[in-house]
């Protein structure tokens, strides 16, 4: 059914996303309590009406992302060329010309599925992406096949570090959305994020240190419904200074991500149970 839906024209799917928004926000109330609490904590100076407007914008964006992700299964390179503009790929060109690998760090902002696929059509090197399998087997198979298009290699989160070690001698772009909640019993970088103490993965910084490669922040901006811009910013380059319990690259990533969310709060995944553990 997902494959069949993917063939529908995007304007038709966007009409359907209006129904998805109504069900998520009005009928089911999908994680509305969590979204409301997160927004109140992040924006203590905003009025109740402003927070409600952001919440509604988030659910509309989420509904669009859901149908656009399904449409990804039938999109070709020309479709992504029309829908996603990469405004400064020249930032990556010196790294590519030097045969150097790099890490692309992004967040769950705007349409992260299109971010991955559109970028893979632009880069002339292999792309490996951290992949967390979905619980539903059929949906997982569809999303795995979709994300694997254009040469992307999805790697299970639990295998990612070992796979990086195996592939460190070949030129690759390692793609990681690093804004999710780390395991409660794992090591993490703790910092202020959206007005509260927050734990972040240190894995990307450790990988950059081990393979001795640059870290690049990837920012996606929504310019219109179904149209986005992607920009790149080099956060850090080797040599890295290793200090115990100090994670400067991760901190730079957090600040860049927070700035992106402040500029367009509706675009971030507020329904993620980000602060479930302290």
Alpha-carbon distances of 37 from 43, 170, 254, rounded to whole Å: 10, 44, 20
198: CB partners within 8 A, 6+ apart? 190, 191, 192, 254, 274, 275
Domain ranges of the chain: 2-267
Q: Global pTM?
A: 0.93
pLDDT band at 277 (very low <50, low <70, confident <90, very high): low
Burial of 59 (0-12, 13-18, 19+ CB in 10 A): buried
d(CA 271, CA 34): 6
pLDDT band at 151 (very low <50, low <70, confident <90, very high): confident
Q: What is the mean pLDDT of residues 192-199?
A: 96
Scored b (16 or more CB within 10 A) or e, 190-211 reads eeebbeeebbbbbbbbbbbbeb
d(CA 63, CA 68): 9
Q: What is the pLDDT of residues 210-264, one digit of tens each?
A: 999 999 999 999 999 999 999 999 999 999 987 777 899 999 999 999 999 999 9
Q: What is the pLDDT of residue 261?
A: 98
Q: Is the per-residue pLDDT at 278 higher than 60?
A: no
């Amino acid at each position: 059914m997902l494959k069949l839906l993917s063939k529908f024209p995007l304007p038709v799917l966007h009409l359907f996303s209006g129904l998805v928004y109504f069900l998520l926000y009005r009928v089911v109330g999908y994680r509305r309590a969590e979204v409301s609490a997160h927004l109140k904590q992040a924006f203590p100076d905003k009025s109740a009406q402003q927070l409600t407007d952001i919440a509604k914008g988030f659910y509309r964006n989420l509904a669009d992302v859901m149908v656009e992700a399904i449409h990804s299964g039938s999109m070709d390179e020309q479709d992504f060329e029309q829908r996603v503009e990469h405004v400064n790929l020249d930032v990556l060109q010196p790294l590519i010309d030097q045969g150097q690998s790099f890490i692309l760090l992004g967040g769950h902002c705007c349409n992260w599925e299109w971010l991955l696929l559109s970028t893979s059509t632009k880069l002339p090197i292999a792309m490996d992406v951290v992949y967390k399998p979905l619980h539903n087997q059929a949906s997982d198979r569809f999303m795995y096949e979709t994300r694997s298009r254009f040469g992307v290699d999805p790697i299970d989160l639990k295998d990612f570090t070992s796979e990086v070690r195996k592939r460190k001698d070949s030129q690759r772009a390692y793609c990681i959305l690093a804004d999710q909640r780390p395991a409660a019993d794992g090591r993490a970088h703790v910092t202020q994020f959206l007005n509260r103490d927050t734990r972040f993965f240190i894995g990307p910084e450790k990988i950059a240190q081990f393979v001795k490669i640059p870290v690049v922040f990837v920012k996606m901006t929504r310019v219109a419904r179904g149209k986005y811009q992607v920009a790149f910013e080099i956060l850090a380059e080797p040599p890295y200074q290793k200090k115990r319990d100090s994670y400067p690259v991760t901190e730079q990533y957090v600040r860049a991500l927070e700035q992106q969310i402040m500029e367009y709060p509706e675009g971030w995944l507020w329904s993620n149970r980000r602060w479930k553990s302290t």
